[in-house]
Structure 1
Amino acid sequence: MNSQKLNNEVVIRIVDQILKIEPLVNTVILKDAIEVVLNDYELASKKYEVTTTDIPDMIYYFLATKKLEGLSMKTLKNYKYILDLFAQSHYRIISSITEIDIKMYLATLMDGKASSTYETYIACLKTFFSWLYDQEYIHKNPMKNIKYPKRDKNLRNPLKLEEIEVLRDACLTLRERAIFEFLLATGCRVDEVVGLKISDIDWSRLQLKVVGKGRKERICYFTDKAKYHLQKYLLSRIDQIDYLFISTRKPYSYLKIRAIEKEITTIGERVNIKVFPHLLRHTFATVLLQSGAKLEVVQELLGHESPKTTQVYAKLNTNIIHNQYKLHMIA
């Protein structure tokens, strides 16, 4: 291992340890200061025996680097879980892992797992091994030719307008109705709603700023109906908490992802309609497109990186195609 690479590892490990004690420290200044000191020293790493594995250390360096790059704690936690499972199945030197090893490992994961879960594992391993290759820990990337499984291109049907009304009537609490209307009106992902604060909302413009995938901010809008039920819910609360959606018992805290998902699922179960937060997002997108909204506008509202992702809603909805045909076809 060359000295520059070794220095980088030491810097990462020192910064990571300091962040555990003082998370608000300026990592850029700290990293630069440590590098200045290390320039006056020659470091030597411990050699691994043939029977040992360096994979846990590589995972540690990878996660620490990604943490310094600003990845969310949720993403880092998911990476760690998947990579730790991989490490438990491969007690070897990382540079000895081959494409065949990866394929055999992934084959064991197929049993009983949804294709979306399988994709998540592949995406994580691709990111990890690409980083190892870029950092020259390995000379060949075993994930380079590993392909994602074919996906079912059919989206679940969005909610019909009558189903939306039935679900509204099925809400028993002010919080249930407020969450339902907010998700439907904004098209937000459930993890974007967690941690939102009342002070984030511009009530006069019916809008708020959310942080989406890749920590990118975007403006979301909501309807007068959503505003009415949000404010009705907020006026019923006796707490002084700034979070938008909170637990009903002390100590009050913001609702976690699972709690919001359960809230929506429970509403649907009362009227035998299978519903979940992401279906409300699907419905939001479909309603906009059916009403004539431009694809690029819906893409912006959903926070999609690529228009291809948004295009799925337009391609698969035959009502949109039919309406556009009738609108533009010369009789």
Structure 2
Amino acid sequence: MNKSLNEITTGDIRGYLAHCKLVRHNTDQTINNKTRMLRGLFKWLTEEEYITKNPMLKIKDNKVEHRVKEVFTDEQITIVKDVAKEHSLRDIAIVDFLHRTGVRISEMVALNRDDIDMHGRQCIVYGKGRKERPVYFNGEAAVHLKEYLESRIDDNPALFVGSRAPHKRMTDDAVRVMLKSLSEMDKRLNGIAINPHKWRRQFVTELLEKDVPLTLVADLVGHNNLNTTKDNYGNYSRSKAKEAHRKYVS
């Protein structure tokens, strides 16, 4: 804009967002993401007294169509886990850990072996803003994790490492690539997205289906905003409606 930060106005911001919409053809969701980032930036600039007036205060988000994000069916979960188990001890350990803890991918790859309390089936992760929270896993996940760790011959402290020497700590991208490769190993999984966040969504949906209170679900997955947790209500409601139909109509 060729202006100093303190000279940028609400009109300038609106002009930029209009340019993104009309010239760059950004979607409403993309523009909302840009707005959110700008909101965070100018809030910080105001708090640190780099600027005297926050030009973002009057900028609102665009209304976007809310689409229910898909979760796995029971059959798909069984197939994915069978494929992962066949492929390697590490892969089934990762899939089960994601499914049974609901952790973010960044939280999982940061874990070390010593962080795992196998007896208590729990560990401590550090979420957004380095916020600490305990996560728990079931017996099945514990068995797969123990088998994988006992099979390791490397001395890397990381919980999950690459399958090839020098066995470096797995990154977010490495886990995503591994999960995607599972869908290519069985034709029944063709077109099925298998990614870390879908397992997190699966975890939340399954808890809601078991009538676990929303606030407790939010605590378990580290959501600061209940609306983030509520995004899974679409899957939850759809599942309940299907269950009711089978029970009372079929």
TM-score by length of 1: 0.65
2:16 alignment partner in structure 1: 105
Query: Which residue identity lines up with residue 97 of structure 2 in the other structure?
Result: F
More displaced 10-residue stretch of structure 1: 292-301 or 217-226: 292-301
Aligned counterparts of 1:104 and 1:260: Cα–Cα separation in 2: 40
Does residue 194 of the first structure (1) align with residue 109 of the second (2)?
yes
TM-superposed deviation, 1:115: 5.1
Residue deviations 1:2-25 (CA, integer Å, cap 9, x gap): xxxxxxxxxxxxxxxxxxxxxxxx
Aligned counterparts of 2:25 and 2:194: Cα–Cα separation in 1: 23
Alignment check: 8 A CA contact 1:218 1:303 kept: yes
Does residue 256 of the first structure (1) align with residue 167 of the second (2)?
no
1:304 alignment partner in structure 2: 223
Alignment check: 8 A CA contact 1:184 1:280 kept: yes
1:245 alignment partner in structure 2: 160
Does residue 160 of the first structure (1) align with residue 53 of the second (2)?
no
Alignment check: 8 A CA contact 2:124 2:133 kept: yes
Task: Report SS of the residue matched to 2:33.
Answer: helix
TM-superposed deviation, 1:303: 0.8
2:200 alignment partner in structure 1: 281
Distance change in 2, residues 1:249/1:117 (3 Å): farther
1:91 alignment partner in structure 2: 2
Alignment check: 8 A CA contact 1:187 1:280 kept: yes
More displaced 10-residue stretch of structure 1: 133-142 or 254-263: 133-142
Alignment check: 8 A CA contact 1:290 1:319 kept: no
Q: Say which of 204, 223, 228 aligns to 2:143.
A: 228
- Tell me: higher relative CO, structure 1 or 2? Use CA pairs within 8 A at least 6 residues apart: 2
Residue deviations 1:187-246 (CA, integer Å, cap 9, x gap): 011111122011001101111011111211111011111111112221222101111111
Q: Say which of 151, 160, 180 aligns to 1:265.
A: 180
Distance change in 2, residues 1:113/1:208 (3 Å): farther
Aligned counterparts of 2:162 and 2:32: Cα–Cα separation in 1: 33
TM-superposed deviation, 1:286: 1.0
Aligned counterparts of 2:179 and 2:27: Cα–Cα separation in 1: 22
Aligned length: 237
2:248 alignment partner in structure 1: none
TM-score by length of 2: 0.85
1:43 alignment partner in structure 2: none
Query: Which residue identity lines up with residue 153 of structure 2 in the other structure?
Result: I
Aligned counterparts of 1:168 and 1:204: Cα–Cα separation in 2: 23
User: Structure 1, unaligned stretches of length 5 or more?
Assistant: 1-89, 327-331
TM-superposed deviation, 1:302: 1.0
Aligned counterparts of 2:213 and 2:67: Cα–Cα separation in 1: 22
Cα RMSD for the two superposed structures: 2.3
Does residue 151 of the first structure (1) align with residue 53 of the second (2)?
no
Task: Report SS of the residue matched to 1:296.
Answer: helix
Alignment check: 8 A CA contact 1:154 1:316 kept: no
Task: Report SS of the residue matched to 1:308.
Answer: helix
More displaced 10-residue stretch of structure 1: 99-108 or 218-227: 99-108
TM-superposed deviation, 1:173: 1.9
Alignment check: 8 A CA contact 2:102 2:204 kept: yes
Residue deviations 1:60-89 (CA, integer Å, cap 9, x gap): xxxxxxxxxxxxxxxxxxxxxxxxxxxxxx
Aligned counterparts of 2:125 and 2:244: Cα–Cα separation in 1: 36
Pair member with larger Rg: 1
TM-superposed deviation, 1:114: 5.8
Task: Report SS of the residue matched to 1:249.
Answer: coil
Distance change in 2, residues 1:167/1:243 (3 Å): same
